[in-house]
Amino acid sequence: MNSLVRRYGTRLLCAAAHITVLAAAPALAQSAPAADSAQADAPGTIVVTASRLGRRDVPTPQLALDATVLSQGGRLNAVAALQDFPQFRPSSTPATNGGQTAGGGYGIDLRALGIPRTLSLLNGHRFSSGSGDLPMGYTDVGVIPSILIERVDIVTSSAAATWGSGAVAGVVNFVTTDKLEGARVGLQSGISSRGDGFEGKAEAAYGTTFGGGRGRIIIGGEYSKSEGIDARSDRKNVGRWAALANAGQTPTLTPNVGLNNISRGGLITNGFYAGQSFNPDHTLSPYNGGTLVGVSRVGGIAPSSDDVVNLIAPLTRIGVMGRLFYDLGSDVRLTADVLYSHATANSSIFPQSTTSTISIDNAFLPQAIKDGMLAAGQTSFSLGRFNDDYAALQDKVRRDTFQGTVSLDGRLGSKLQWNAYYTHGSLSIKSHINNSLIASNFAQAVDSVKGANGQPVCRVTLTTPSSNCVPINLFGEGAPSQAARDYVLGTAIANARNSLDAGGVSLRGDVLDLWAGPLSIAVGAEARRESLHLTNGPLDRAKAFVLVNAPAYGGEIKTAEGFGEFMLPILKDVPGFSKLQLNGAARYSNNDQSKGVWSWKIGVLDRVVEGVEVRATRSRDIRAPGVNELFATVVGPQRGIFFDPLKNTSYQMSTFTGGNRNLKVELSDTTTFGVTLTPSFAPGLTITADYYNINIKNAISAPSTQTVLTNCGNGIASSCALITRADDGTATSVLVTNQNFLSYKASGVDFSLRYPLPISILSGVTAIRLDGSWLRKLETNDGKSVVNLIGTTGAAAVNGAPKLSGNAALTYDSSTFSAYLRVKYVSPSWYNRAITITNNRYAAYATVDLGLNYQVTPGMKIFANVNNLFDRDPPIASGRSVYYDFIGRYYQSGVRLSF
């Protein structure tokens, strides 16, 4: 940190001073009685996330969700609860990450603009495990014990001038309690109506004062376990679907799709025995793989990776957090936060299917088959084998998250508050991908003959007796011996450590009383160092594995920033302008990749009349490339089924990804308009609507596999160059690297309603809550083609989002009983609107959740929830689409105690 201060300190202080002068200049000679101000809260209290002024009355759109709302649905953590709301795209969960390396993590994605464009905070500070720039599946913000979360503040608009790089789509700030007195305990568990998907959680928290009331300590922790769901094909409409067509036909979403030229026991694909598969007893029988459509099989027993890959990755987590507050004096408070989380996940990824050449003298080949080959004049054949009996990749991941923050808050006089903080965070990931095929060992083991004693040996031992090769029998499911497995399989090892060191100082308060209220300002400087280092195992370094060779790379980024913000009152008590205020913010950022970049915001807030408030903002926001985006080496593959326009069908292929050290800063321009209505004729009714328009330039992205294939089909040569094809034109792999090649445009309206109904049932309060999001535009432009992402919600929905989505709840609350009925809605959509498919259209989709709570005693509450009450199936070919419930009806129950 000292080097950062020495390097950038002078420039930051100059920038901060310049911003402060700009903020104060319009009203230096004016004075008036004070109105709303930044002085309402004690030092150390987090007031709002939308501003650094410590004021609630700012024009930036924001949403706050308290613990009661977050508890609906019984989610295991607050991130999972957030993803029930329409502003979020749940693009990183144990479900969406199941079947990938490092599965089981949680990320936050506002506006479907990507996890790296949403800034995650813990009590107003960045934290390392919230980085959206970590390798695939590593992002994990579900580490905070839910029992300590008081609320989650969500800034639903760009906020880089306020919080720095990354807040292009918005900010999510997890605010933990600072007032707990006594103890809380919670237990819950759940299971699906199919008898799988078990999950449970135990949590506890305790808080007390000490030092004669000058200090408070709070500690909380939780243990949670999710057993996951084994295979994608375990759920209707999820696994074994693909868009298929024969030459000259329009593709159709088709069920029961399997792989061609492969069977579980081994399929002979050429020669005298072509079309026959090995049985467990090593004999042959005709293979019913189904009808060949394109390059896939339909309707038979052909295997699919969806039969093996986890639908939801199993996840176990232990987390603990402690908070310490101590008043060092009447005007200075010390705050210390410590968080630790340990999580393990065990994901089934996919089998490593192989195609091998089997010679007639293979030691394990039955004599009857050899005789048939000899009679046919055949010396070898090709064998396609699924290999799920011994070579299905299993990724065992361990994540350890640590975050420690120390801050001091105090006053300067009666109107100014200062803050100084330092935070250190680290996220350590250890990933062991078991059952990885070692290429050279497998090739030698397959090529077996009978040795001098008549026992099977590897052919290589005839010329190299010192070889430790163990021959492998591939003829029939379960045939490979344990010794052969040990020889041909190894463990790919990837260890990653992400670190964050950040510190800053700030000053805020009212500096001048003007004609319409006080002029409030905030000014400060911050610096941080972010690093990521990946190491790998010896076999990975030797590129020994057939598919997954973990990379090794590292790098760090040092950033220093100065910021300022002001709130200037313009008019007060004037018809149409009961309270008109101007809000502005600016931030100067300098780091190793982006030299001297400004972000800024200007906004107005007007209380037109009592009960009607309007607001508008315009901002320039930035996102600097992250460590992983810059320094990642090419890694892969991730395997999936994609539509190839040149072959006019879908089939399985591999994707490889990597970084780019020449990336530039993303630039974003955002405009918002909003209104809040609180009519006096309906006490408690609050209606809000906020329009947003986000335009991101130089967006960093690796084009999706489907995008590369589609662009190649449209004749774009640069995309075709990223595709490796076999001699028959079939795509085997696609290379996608990070580039500043995209622009994003997103616009729409967020709306909400809160209303306690003016009726009383059994002395209880009935209320309505509605949160919705309507998309006007969501598109990407790579300079050659514009892709409309609105309404693409199927398995191919890499970045798509529904036109209209919402979350509505009817709640009842009395002194002893409470209940909620919640509906989640997704408007009519497409599987993939970018391509023509005969059955592409999805109908509107809604699920209903029911929750009941009963206060047994003042210190004991029991509850029960049913999610997806009517067991609504997802639409066809939805895969693990983030917008549909593919688990089915789910039961939960639990108890909460307080002492």
Asked if residue 196 belongs to a domain, the reply is: no
Residue 737 vs residue 511, higher pLDDT = 511
**pLDDT at position 48:** 57
- What's the rounded Cα separation, in Å, for the pair 701 and 593? 17
* 271-275, 414-418, 594-598, 664-668, range with the lowest pLDDT: 594-598
Average pLDDT over residues 482-487: 97
Asked if residue 243 belongs to a domain, the reply is: yes
Selection from 283, 323, 408 nearest residue 150 by Cα: 323
Name the residue type at position 833: R
- The pTM (predicted TM-score) of the whole model is 0.87
Quote the DSSP letter at residue 75: -
- Supply φ then ψ for residue 579, to 5 degrees: -160, 100
Residue 8, pLDDT > 50, answer no
Residue 13 vs residue 480, higher pLDDT = 480
* 188-192, 196-200, 345-349, 741-745, range with the lowest pLDDT: 345-349
Max distance between CA atoms of the chain, in angstroms, equals: 106
3 state SS of 1: coil
Asked if residue 240 belongs to a domain, the reply is: yes
Domain count of the fold of the chain: 1
3 state SS of 227: coil
Residue 98, pLDDT > 60, answer no
Tokens in use for 890? 């789910």
H-run or E-run covering 463:
helix 460-463
- Report the DSSP pairing between strands 860-867 and 845-857: antiparallel
pLDDT in tens, 701-718: 877 888 889 889 988 887
Contact partners, residue 777, CB within 8 Å, separation at least 6: 745, 746, 747, 748, 790
**pLDDT at position 296:** 92
Average pLDDT over residues 147-153: 93
Average pLDDT over residues 15-40: 37
pLDDT in tens, 253-293: 999 999 999 999 999 999 999 999 999 999 999 999 999 99
Contact partners, residue 800, CB within 8 Å, separation at least 6: 112, 778, 789, 790, 791, 792, 793, 829, 832, 833
Q: What percent of the chain has pLDDT over 70?
A: 91
The four Cα atoms 357, 361, 366, 370 give a dihedral, to 10 degrees, of: 90
- What's the rounded Cα separation, in Å, for the pair 611 and 686? 9
- What's the rounded Cα separation, in Å, for the pair 483 and 469? 10
pLDDT in tens, 490-507: 999 989 898 999 999 999
As a three-state string, the secondary structure of 804-850 is: EEEEEEEEEECCCEEEEEEEEEECCEECCCCCCCCCCEECCEEEEEE
Asked if residue 621 belongs to a domain, the reply is: no
Asked if residue 459 belongs to a domain, the reply is: yes
Is residue 105 within 8 Å of 79, Cβ to Cβ?
no
**pLDDT at position 350:** 86
Max avg pLDDT among 308-322, 346-360, 602-616, 781-795: 602-616
Q: Work out the number of other CB atoms within 10 angstroms of the CB of residue 717.
A: 8
Asked if residue 355 belongs to a domain, the reply is: yes
Residue 14, pLDDT > 80, answer no
- What's the rounded Cα separation, in Å, for the pair 692 and 746? 8
CB-based burial of residue 195 (10 Å sphere; 0-12 exposed, 13-18 middle, 19+ buried)? exposed
Contact partners, residue 482, CB within 8 Å, separation at least 6: none
Residue 40 vs residue 126, higher pLDDT = 126
Residue 51, pLDDT > 70, answer yes
Asked if residue 872 belongs to a domain, the reply is: no
Sign of CA dihedral 872, 873, 875, 881: positive
**pLDDT at position 659:** 82
Q: Is the peptide bond before 625 cis (omega within 30 degrees of 0)?
A: no
**pLDDT at position 69:** 87
- What's the rounded Cα separation, in Å, for the pair 748 and 401? 36
Residue 384, pLDDT > 50, answer yes
- What's the rounded Cα separation, in Å, for the pair 899 and 893? 21
Pick left, alpha or beta for residue 79 (phi over 0 → left; psi -120 to 50 → alpha; otherwise beta): alpha
Is residue 148 within 8 Å of 177, Cβ to Cβ?
yes
CA separation, residue 547 to residues 319, 550, 636, 756 (Å): 34, 10, 7, 57
Is residue 492 within 8 Å of 436, Cβ to Cβ?
yes
Average pLDDT over residues 801-813: 95
- Supply φ then ψ for residue 556, to 5 degrees: -145, 155
As a three-state string, the secondary structure of 566-594 is: EEEEEEEEECCEEEEEEEEEEEEEEECCC
Asked if residue 658 belongs to a domain, the reply is: no
Name the residue type at position 712: C
State the DSSP string of 258-296: EETT-BSS-EE-SSTTTTEEE-TTS-EEE---EEEETTE
**pLDDT at position 455:** 94
Residue 205, pLDDT > 90, answer yes
3 state SS of 667: strand
Q: Where are the beta strands (DSSP E) in 84-214?
A: 118-122, 125-126, 149-155, 170-176, 182-192, 199-210
**pLDDT at position 634:** 75
208-217 burial code (b ≥16 CB/10 A, e <16): eeeeeeebbb
Residue 42, pLDDT > 90, answer no
Domain encompassing residue 359: 233-312+349-395+435-489
Selection from 209, 205, 491 nearest residue 324 by Cα: 209
96 pLDDT band (50/70/90 cuts)? low
Tokens in use for 391? 């070579």
- What's the rounded Cα separation, in Å, for the pair 553 and 576? 59
Quote the DSSP letter at residue 703: P
